[in-house]
Amino acid sequence: MNAPLLPGFAQPEDHAQRVFRLLLDALARPGRVQTLPFEFAAPAPLAPATGAAALALLDYETPVWLQSADSAPWLRFHAGCPLVDDPARARFALIDDAGAMPPLSAFAQGEPEYPDRSATLLIQVAGFAPHASTERGPTLRGPIWSGPGIADEVRLGVVGLPDGFWRDWQRNAGHFPLGVDLLLVAGAQVVGLPRTTTVREA
């Protein structure tokens, strides 16, 4: 007998709508940390905000690429989403180990007529460092984010991204309007990183 499945949203409609709103805000205001407004338990290795975002966004029409299959029964039951092995066929990808993730170019980039037919990646990271932390020294000063939805610019450090990630992100921007969009997740926190956002390492 399998371990019992965790439940989905306690209040399916209300919670799905609040999470959807939160994700909209995250993508409309890149670099600003959004926090899940209610307690939520997702099966390992998914963070609470990854699980909540998955239930709000995924359904039978969204093929999903899972980096680790542990949450597959839970996702299949609650979201009814098809799971695919090829990252290029996925509309969403759930990544729990950013250090071992494929390059961004491995995922669907959209088509010239339909740039929206691209993948959205939910990438779990260790945490965010919104303010330049002087006590930790210059390494955590944090890169500078700019673009639509950001007044002037904002500094936000992301802890737990692999070396070379921001160079990969620059390559992603080079294909605009094609490319992928990211939602970075740490626990109950989410930061949006759409393809229109430029990130400069300070």
Partner 1 sequence: MYVAVKGGETAILNAGTLLAQARRGDPAVSEVSVAQIAGQLRLGVARVMAEGSLYDEELAALALKQAAGDQVEAIFLLRAYRTTLPRFGYSQPLDTARMAVRRRISATFKELPGGQVLGPTYDYTQRLLDFSLLAGGEAPVVAEAAQPLPEHLPRGIDLLGEEGLIEPELPPPGDPAPADLSREPLSFPAGRATRLQNLARGDEGFLLALGYSTQRGYSHTHPFAGEIRMGEVALEVVPEELGFAIQIGEITVTECQMVNQFAGSSTTPPQFTRGYGLAFGEAERKTMAMALVDRALRCAELGEEPAAPAQQAEFVLSHSDNVEAGGFVQHLKLPHYVDFQSELELVRRMRAAIASAQPAQEQTA
Partner 2 sequence: MTQLCDPAQRRHWLGVLAQASPVELEQHLARRALPALHWLRRPETGLMMVRGRAGGTGAQFNLGEVSVTRCAVQDDAGRLGVGYVRGRVGRHAELVALFDLLLQDDIQRADLLPALIEPLAARQRAARATAGAQAAATRVEFFTLARGD
* DSSP class of 151: S
| Residue among 3 and 151 whose Cβ is closer to partner 2 | 3
Q: Where are the beta strands (DSSP E) in 33-178?
A: 34-35, 64-66, 92-95, 120-124, 127-129, 144-146, 154-155, 157-159
One character per residue 57-76, x = contact with partner 2 (rule: CB under 8 A): ----------------x---
Q: Considering only CA atoms, which of 176, 70, 62, 46 is closest in space to residue 122?
A: 46
Q: 153-172: which residues touch partner 1 (CB under 8 A)?
A: none
Q: Given strand 120-124, what is the order of strands in its sheet? A: 34-35, 189-193, 181-186, 120-124, 92-95, 64-66
From partner 2, partner 1, none, which one binds at residue 99 (CB under 5 to 8 Å depending on kind)?
Answer: none
Is the CB of residue 108 less than 8 Å from the CB of residue 120? no
Q: How far is the CB of 193 from partner 2 (least distance, A)?
A: 33
Angle at 107 between CA 103 and CA 109, to 5 degrees: 115
Tell which one of 1, 3, 60, 138 touches partner 1 (CB under 8 A).
Answer: 60
By a kind-dependent CB cut-off of 5 to 8 A, residue 61 interacts, out of partner 1, partner 2, none, with: partner 1
Tell which one of 18, 20, 38, 76 touches partner 1 (CB under 8 A).
76
Number of residues that bind partner 2 (CB under 8 A): 11
Can you give the binding site for partner 1, defined by CB under 8 A? 59-61, 76-77, 80-81
Per CB under 8 A, residues contacting partner 2 are: 1-5, 7-8, 12, 73, 77-78
